[in-house]
Structure 1
Amino acid sequence: MGKFNVRPDIDAAAEKAGPALGSKREIQQLPSVLWEGEHVDSLATGVYGGGNGLVALTDRRLVFFKHGIMGQKLEDFPLTNISSVQWTAGLLMGTLSVFASGNRADIKSVAKAQGEALSGRLRMLLATPATQAAPAVAPVGAPDVASRLATLEQLRAAGAISDAEYGERRAAILASI
């Protein structure tokens, strides 16, 4: 997406993502919609809710942001509310499907390389304990590990993670006990 001199984390994510494809305004305005201390990890462009905009993955949420001349659209999905993510790709473009709070949001027309990178990074963030919602009463020892392993198995069964990712994450969970 190029160099924008907005903020170091945003500039780094934009460089990793490649060409901006109509999201220059959104990248420049992104700091205005971020929370204090929020760090941008990955960026992509896509179509959601009838508008072409910017998809930003931060350390706290996935954000779709469209900043137009006549108005703006912002929708965010806190990482703690996302149960899974699905990436479906064609030859050049794909669809990022986010499952959060019992709903499904499809962000379409995402460039293949951007979508693969963003969905992979999002899966990694979802599998880390820091982004998983804390239970009302934290179980001790085995039940916590069992629930994490069950969630991991559901992600693999849904095709949200590969067998290799499953093996790595399962080993990490077992190593944590």
Structure 2
Amino acid sequence: MGKHKAVRPDIDAAAEQAGPALGSRREIEHLPSVLWEGERVDMLATGLYGGGNGLVALTDRRLVFFKHGLMSQRLEDFPLGNISSVEWSGGLLMGTLTVYTSGNRADIKNVAKAQGAALSGQLRMRLATKGPAVGAVASPGQDVASRLGTLDQLRAAGAISDEEYRSRREAILNSI
């Protein structure tokens, strides 16, 4: 992701995983100031949202869009429990990550293809593991099949390790 000063182990690891094209050094350095106590950063990407380029951070609790400018700061977050679905549409190099929450829609544009695919896959996995919404009726076979499919996509995108893949696959199969 380019050179940045060490911030925190979880943020540094996510920045390293994001690769050299990320380039949101200022946002990365100020990210700890907008995180909740004990919140862990899992993935980072850059994107365009609400008219500004900023940092997209997936944590263990929420998806955060953070822009830290010289004169202003913008923060919008989407708690994972409020996200109903996620959509990824990728072009040749960039794409759009669409997050749906309680009847609302947020389009984060100009996300690098690899980071966007990995973010959407990780979000889908988390949505699949939180179970169906109250009142939803799903066929157990379809639910397991979709969860396994998402898991395969995450491994193919490099968002999870082979060990994590095996562990999560076993957990999904044991839930039958």
**Contact conserved, 1:45 with 1:111, CA < 8 A, in 2?**
yes
Describe the SS at the equivalent of 2:126.
helix
Match of 1:69, SS state, is: coil
**For residues 103-146 of structure 1, what are the alpha-carbon distances to aligned partners after superposition, in whole Å with 9 as ceiling and x for unaligned?**
110000001111111111111111113xx6985xxxxxxx99x5
- The match for 2:35 is 34
Instruction: Indicate conservation of the 8 Å contact 1:86/1:98, yes or no.
Output: yes
Gaps of 5+ in 2: 153-164
Q: Which sections of structure 1, spanning at least 5 residues, go unmatched?
A: 136-142
Cα distance, 1:54–1:148 mapped onto 2, change above 3 Å: farther
Q: Would you say the 8 A contact 2:22–2:45 is kept in 1?
A: no
Residues 1:77 and 2:78 aligned together: yes
CA distance in 1, matches of 2:103, 2:114: 28
RMSD between superposed Cα atoms in Å: 3.2
CA distance in 2, matches of 1:63, 1:34: 9
SS at match of 1:4: coil
Q: Secondary structure at the match of 2:39?
A: coil
Shift of 1:28: 0.3
Which AA in structure 1 matches 2:46?
T
Asked if 2 retains the 8 angstrom alpha-carbon contact of 1:94 and 1:109, the reply is: yes
Distance 1:34 1:151 in 2: 36
Pair 1:175-2:160 in alignment? no
The residue aligned with 2:112 is 111
Q: What's the TM-score once normalised by structure 1's chain length?
A: 0.77
- The TM-score with structure 2 as length reference comes to 0.78
- Equivalent position of 1:16 in the other structure: 17
1:164 alignment partner in structure 2: 149
Give the 3-state SS of the residue equivalent to 2:15 in structure 1.
Answer: helix
* Cα distance in structure 2, aligned partners of 1:174 and 1:148: 15
| Offset, 1:14 | 0.2
Q: What is the percent sequence identity of the aligned residues?
A: 70
- The range that moved more, 11-20 or 76-85, is 11-20
Matches within 5 A, 1:57-76: 57-76=58-77
Following superposition, the deviation at residue 164 of structure 1 comes to: 2.6
SS of residue in 1 equivalent to 2:28: helix
Counterpart-to-counterpart distance in 2, 1:166 and 1:147: 18
Q: CA deviation at 1:171?
A: 8.7
Per the alignment, residue 122 of structure 2 pairs with 121
Aligned residues, how many? 161
Name 2:54's counterpart in structure 1: 53
Is the CA contact 1:61–1:77 (under 8 Å) kept in the aligned structure 2? yes
Q: Which piece of structure 1 moves more, 111-120 or 50-59?
A: 111-120
